[in-house]
Structure 1
Amino acid sequence: MSEELHLQEAVARFVRAFGLHQPAQTPCGQPIPVSEAHALGELARDGALRQNELAHRLRLEKSTTSRLVTQLIKRGWAERTPTPDDGRGVLVRLTPTGADAAARLARARAERFSAVIDRIPAHERAAVLRALGILTEAIDET
């Protein structure tokens, strides 16, 4: 089997095992689309972001991010406000309800990753993290 095919199959197995192919819930079992969970995490980290910065961080098109933010607003989790320094810019920030949802997700994510890391032999953990970093960098470069 070629290295390319081996990598393809390994990534596909990982995606399925981790639950990334289930768009209606997060890998930590929360009933929230994965894209919304990532957006909540980014907004919780920084308090507020320009919508175009959120798109960049999530690696989504601007129109997709706009629809995503609209969905967060419909859930009562986020709000759009004009940027103070640029009348054309839009800031997205979490509402108190959104901050609560982000905190629940963070707890569920911490529990899931704790369970995963506990199943990796201690002497292999650094290698796993290093491999994920290398894989991410290789994807970024393509």
Structure 2
Amino acid sequence: MQEDSESDAVVLQARIIAFVRAFGLYQPDQTPCGQALSVSEAHTVTELDRDGPLTQVELAGRLRLTKSTVSRLVDQLTARGWVQRRKRDGDGRLVWLEVTDAGRHAAGELATARAARFSSLLEAIPAGRRQTVVDALTLLVKAADEQHDQH
């Protein structure tokens, strides 16, 4: 039984690696939907646009990145003019991160490109198997979340 489990794990690993490559997640300067920024930058601006302003610690938790990595991402997005750091009245200790108007525009373009890419990907899957794919990914995310929470 252990051998089957190890074999299944090897197959899962190979399939995830193949998907990451095929989808284009290794591109350091472009999202899989063809936008000229890193995947981490895209996720950062998307989170801040959807639920911001957020503190750096909150953002790091959502993205599952270290605080220093998020700081570098925010520096990059600040240089693009998409994110700004702000203090709030009454609490000078916390720095809040929020998207600028330019960042909101970029997040909208990202959302449009992402929707088109995923629609195209979904159309390439036979209609009768699409829900199976979504269900399998949901289970995979749940398992990964549970493992992350244990560490």
TM-score by length of 2: 0.89
Pair member with larger Rg: 2
Report the Cα offset of residue 71 of structure 1. 0.8
User: For residues 81-106 of structure 1, what are the alpha-carbon distances to aligned partners after superposition, in whole Å with 9 as ceiling and x for unaligned?
Assistant: 01345321111111111111111111
Whether 2:16 is the aligned partner of 1:11: answer yes
Q: 1:85 to 1:127 in 2, by over 3 A?
A: farther
**Structure 1 residues 47-56 or 5-14, which shifts more?**
47-56
Alpha-carbon distance in structure 2 between the residues aligned to 1:83 and 1:113? 38
Match of 1:61 in 2: 66
Rounded Cα–Cα distance in structure 1 between residues aligned with 2:111 and 2:123:
18
Pairing partner for 2:139 from 114, 134, 138: 134
Q: 1:98 aligns with which of 90, 94, 103?
A: 103
Counterpart CA distance in 1 for 2:90 and 2:125 is 48
Identity of aligned residues (%): 54
- Which residue type is aligned with residue 95 of structure 2? V
2:43 aligns with 38
Rounded Cα–Cα distance in structure 2 between residues aligned with 1:64 and 1:43: 16
Number of residues paired by the alignment? 142
Structure 1: how far apart are the matches of 2:131 and 2:91? Answer: 44
2:5 aligned with 1:24: no
- 1:118 is aligned to 123
Cα distance in 1 for residues equivalent to 2:88 and 2:124 = 45
Q: CA RMSD in A?
A: 1.3
Gaps of at least 5 residues in structure 2 are none
Q: Which amino acid aligns with 2:102?
A: T
> Shift of the alpha carbon at 1:138?
1.3
SS of the residue 1:81 aligns to: strand
